[in-house]
Amino acid sequence: MVKRLVVGAHYGLRDWLAQRVTAAFIAVYAVLAAGVVLKHQPLTYVAWRELFAQGWMRVATLLFAVSLVWHTWVGVRDILMDYIKPDGLRFALQVMVLLVLAGYLAWAVQILFR
């Protein structure tokens, strides 16, 4: 039996798990959304607007947006940690990514709840 002293704040496990849980939600939403859109062909404005007027669709899409943003943050952070070695540049890029993601989320909320 190897006794390991696990130290740190478990960022790695939390991100790893979050990436996978959000991936599952994104996948299920994407398949269902694609199914709904393909079923309503040819798509009209009224059908499109009414789809996004329903409460469950707004909530599901908001959860999708949050999952997507969280999933993206873990993935893009991994890419930056692997390829961008200078600390200052990597930090600046990570801040930019976070700002873009926050902007995406705000935009999605604006579209869904106006």
Q: How far is CA 33 from CA 8, 17, 30, 110, in A?
A: 39, 24, 5, 20
Whether the CB-CB separation of 29 and 60 falls below 8 Å is answered with: yes
When the beta carbons of 17 and 91 are compared against other proteins, the nearer one is 17
23 interacts with other proteins by CB under 8 A: yes
Distance, in Å, from the CA atom of 84 to the CA atom of 87, rounded to the nearest integer, reads 8
Q: How far is the CB of 36 from other proteins (least distance, A)?
A: 14
108 interacts with other proteins by CB under 8 A: yes
Q: How far is the CB of 102 from other proteins (least distance, A)?
A: 13
Distance, in Å, from the CA atom of 35 to the CA atom of 32, rounded to the nearest integer, reads 5
Q: How far is the CB of 5 from other proteins (least distance, A)?
A: 25
104 interacts with other proteins by CB under 8 A: yes
Maximum Cα–Cα distance across the chain: 64
Which of 13, 20, 91, 95 touches other proteins by CB under 8 A?
20
